[in-house]
Copies of this chain bind each other. A is one copy, B any other.
Amino acid sequence: MAEAYYLHVTDKLRDVLLTDDTAWVNDNGKLPAERELAQRFETTRVTLRQALAQLEGEGRIHRSNRRGWFVSPKRLEYDPTRDAGFNDYVRDQGRLPRTEVLSVSTSSHPPAAKALGLVADQTFYHIRRRRYVDERAVLVESLWVVPERAPGLLDERFDFSLWKLLREKWNLRLSHRSISMVSEALQGADARELGVAAGTAGLNICRTILDGDQRPVEYDEEHWLHDALSIRVELKQHR
C-alpha cells in the first residue's frame, strides 16, 4: 500500500510537470521547495522524495547543486539509422549546439584499435570535447582518428564538425558505421566534466567508422547525461 501511494503522488506530480502552470514551475523551470510540495500534495517528505526520485530516474526533473529541483529540458532525439552530425540534428530540433575542445593529443587506445581492426599500439589523433545544447553541457566525447587517413589533422580547429572536416579536407567517405549504445554509470573525468556525481546514470554511444574502401577512419565514444537524449527509430514493416 505504501508503494501504491507514492506512485499516486508520482502520477500527480508528473501531471503537474506536463502543464505549464506557473503556480508549479517558475520561469527558470524550478519547482517549489520540497516542504512546500509536500504540503500541496498533502503527503510526507519521505513519500514526496520517493516520487521525486522516480521522476528523476525517468529524466523528467534533475537536481541542481543546493538550488533545488528543476524540470529537465525536452530530450534531444537521435536516430541512429540516420546518424546525422551533432550540429545538424540539434539545429533540426530548434536547439542551439556548441562544442568546446577539452584536449588534443596523440596517443594509443587499445579499445579503439581493436574496434578498427588495428594493432593494439596503433597511434591515434585523440580529440576530447564537451558539447552543449542550449548552453547545457550534455555530453563529453573522445574521438580517435587514424593519422594515415587525415595527415596534419591536429593543425585544424575542432569546435565544429569533425566529420565535415574529414569529408571536405581529406575527401573521406564515412561509409561504414557500426554504432553501439549502452546505458552506463558515469565515472571519473566523464562525470566531473558533466558536473554530476560519480555513479549518475548516463548513455554511452560508440561508433566505429570505415571509409568507402573499408579502411579504418575513426572511433568515437560519447558519454551523455541520461536525461538529455532519446534514441528513436521508426519502423514500417510488412510482415
Contacts and interface: CB of A to CB of B under 8 A. Distances in A.
Interface stretch (A23-31, A50-58, A140-148): A50-58
Interface string A130-164: 00000000000000000000000000000000000
A129 interface: no
Contacts of A179: 232-235
Contacts of A199: 53, 57
Nearest to A204: B58
A54 B187 contact: yes
Nearest to A231: B181
B184 A226 contact: yes
Interface string A11-38: 0000000000000000000000000000
Interface string A189-213: 1000000001101111000000010
A50 B226 CA distance: 21
A184 B58 contact: yes
A231 B234 contact: no
A103 interface: no
A205 to B, nearest CB: 9
A216 interface: no
Given A230-B180, A235-B81, A201 B185 contact: yes
Given A3-B189, A180-B232, 11 more contacts: A3-B188, A6-B188, A53-B198, A57-B198, A58-B187, A167-B239, A177-B234, A178-B233, A178-B235, A181-B232, A182-B231
Interface of A: 3, 6-7, 50, 53-54, 56-59, 75, 80-81, 83, 167, 173-189, 198-199, 201-204, 212, 224, 226-227, 229-239
